[in-house]
Each structure stands twice: as structure tokens, then as C-alpha cells.
């Protein structure tokens, strides 16, 4: 009984510590994106919050030879509330070279989401663990991941897709912001799904995403690694 009580108290204390230590009010992260060893893009993320709501901007662009073959600017935006489960999106959108690609709004009280792309719109059920991709990347900064696997629902286009993620363990990685102790969050591939998505969260930097890796269904791997991290209280 004593051991169980001590364990419960430690769990409560760790939960309180995580909740009491959110990231600073403004975070800006720059990433370099690589296809293999070739740099093909750069991304600038800005997250602002007041402990109750948040706003995220992410802009990626091709650079170097990649830009010569295909000049592309992807702009993502998301905003919503901050709760015990992390970030709860209210709206999100993505444009490619200024052209609307997809977006949506989450109605948490009605448990439904209106999602749309350039072909139309749909109203779909909204699950508890639902995010747009940008909000999902930063939600762990407000609610660090636990030990077990987790089911998440990610909105894209006019779909809400279920994925399962697991914690692969702690890893030290080299970034432009220094060598960082990270927690590796990995998507579990199920069925015939070959599209991978991995996150490395900086343990001592509020679990901010410092490395992101996408694997396409054809096996192409794109890795974005933080080149700089700046924070401020306002």
C-alpha cells in the first residue's frame, strides 16, 4: 500500500511540474529540411500563447536546387485553446504558393469538425485526441507524452485519419541549436500504410519539436532539423 501511495504522489507531482512549466509566450524555431544529405528547404515556425489560447504560424519554402526545379512556399496556420490534454485546435489552414489547399474548424461542444479542400467540404465526427498536423507537433510542449501508445486523429483535407503513436525512447541528436536530449515519438505503421511520421521532442526545452521526419509511401525520407530556437516572454 505504501509503495502505491508513493507512486501516486510522484505521478501527481510530475504532472503538476509539467503543467506548471509551459514554454515561453513566444517560441520561434527555424528548421533546415533535407532529402537524404541534400538540403532542399527551410521552415520558420512561430508559436504564441497566453496559457489559455495559442496561435501557430509555419512557413516552409524550397531552397537551392530544389527551388530551381520547383519553387514552393507552404503556409500553415492554426489556433485554438490550451487545456489539460494539450492544444485543442479551433481552426487551421494550409496554402501552397498562396493557393488554398485545405482547412477546417473544430466544434468541440458539438463533437464535430467542418473540413474543406478545394473540391468541397464535409462535416465529420470529432474525437477527443484530434488535431491538425501543426497543432499536433506542438501539443506535447503543453502535455508531455506518457509511456504507452496513443491513438490520435489528424485532420487533413476532408478526412480525419486515425494513427497510433508510440514512444521509441530517449535519443541525443545534433542540431543547429546544440546537442539535445530528446524523446522520440514514432508513428506505428499499420496495415499497408507506408507513410511514416516521427518527432523528436527536446526534453529540456519544453518538449518542443526539434526534429521532424516524414517518410512518403514511396519510401522518400525528408528530415527537418532545428537550426535555431529563440524564445521570449512576450
**pLDDT, tens only, 142-185:** 999 887 899 999 998 778 899 999 999 999 999 999 999 999 99
In a domain, 176, yes or no: yes
Cell numbers of 183, please?
524523446
2, pLDDT greater than 50 = no
In a domain, 39, yes or no: yes
Rounded to the nearest angstrom, the gap between the alpha carbon of residue 170 and the centroid of all alpha carbons in its chain is 18
- Classify strands 130-132 and 150-156 as parallel, antiparallel or unpaired: parallel
In a domain, 7, yes or no: no
In a domain, 17, yes or no: no
- In the DSSP assignment, the letter for residue 70 is -
What CATH number has the domain bearing residue 142?
2.50.20
pLDDT at residue 20, rounded to an integer: 44
Percent of the chain having pLDDT more than 70? 91
- Rounded (5°) CA angle 26-223-87: 35
In a domain, 10, yes or no: no
Range of the domain at 91: 23-232
pLDDT in tens, 120-147: 899 999 999 999 999 999 999 999 988 7
In a domain, 151, yes or no: yes
Q: What is the model's pTM?
A: 0.88
In a domain, 16, yes or no: no
What is the count of structural domains for the chain?
A: 1
14, pLDDT greater than 60 = no
What is d(CA 52, CA 88) in angstroms, rounded to the nearest whole number? 10
Amino acid at each position: 500500500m505504501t509503495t502505491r501511495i508513493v507512486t501516486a504522489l510522484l505521478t501527481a507531482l510530475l504532472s503538476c511540474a509539467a503543467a506548471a512549466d509551459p514554454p515561453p509566450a513566444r517560441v520561434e524555431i527555424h528548421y533546415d529540411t533535407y532529402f537524404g544529405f541534400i538540403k532542399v528547404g527551410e521552415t520558420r515556425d512561430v508559436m504564441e500563447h497566453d496559457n489559455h489560447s495559442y496561435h501557430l504560424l509555419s512557413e516552409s519554402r524550397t531552397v537551392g536546387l530544389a527551388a530551381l526545379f520547383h519553387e514552393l512556399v507552404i503556409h500553415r496556420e492554426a489556433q485554438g485553446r490550451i487545456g489539460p490534454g494539450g492544444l485543442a485546435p479551433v481552426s487551421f489552414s494550409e496554402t501552397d504558393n498562396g493557393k488554398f489547399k485545405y482547412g477546417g474548424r473544430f466544434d468541440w461542444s458539438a463533437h464535430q469538425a467542418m473540413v474543406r479542400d478545394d473540391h468541397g467540404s464535409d462535416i465529420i465526427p470529432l474525437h477527443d485526441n484530434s488535431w491538425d498536423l501543426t497543432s499536433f507537433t506542438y501539443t506535447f510542449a503543453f502535455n508531455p507524452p506518457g509511456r504507452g501508445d496513443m491513438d490520435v486523429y489528424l485532420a487533413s483535407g476532408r478526412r480525419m485519419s486515425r494513427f497510433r503513436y508510440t514512444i521509441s525512447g530517449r535519443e541525443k541528436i545534433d542540431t543547429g541549436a546544440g546537442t539535445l536530449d530528446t524523446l522520440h515519438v514514432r508513428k506505428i505503421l499499420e496495415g499497408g500504410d507506408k507513410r511514416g511520421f516521427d518527432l523528436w521532442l527536446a526534453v529540456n526545452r519544453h518538449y518542443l519539436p526539434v526534429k521532424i521526419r516524414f517518410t512518403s509511401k514511396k519510401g522518400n525520407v525528408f528530415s527537418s532539423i532545428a537550426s535555431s530556437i529563440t524564445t521570449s516572454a512576450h
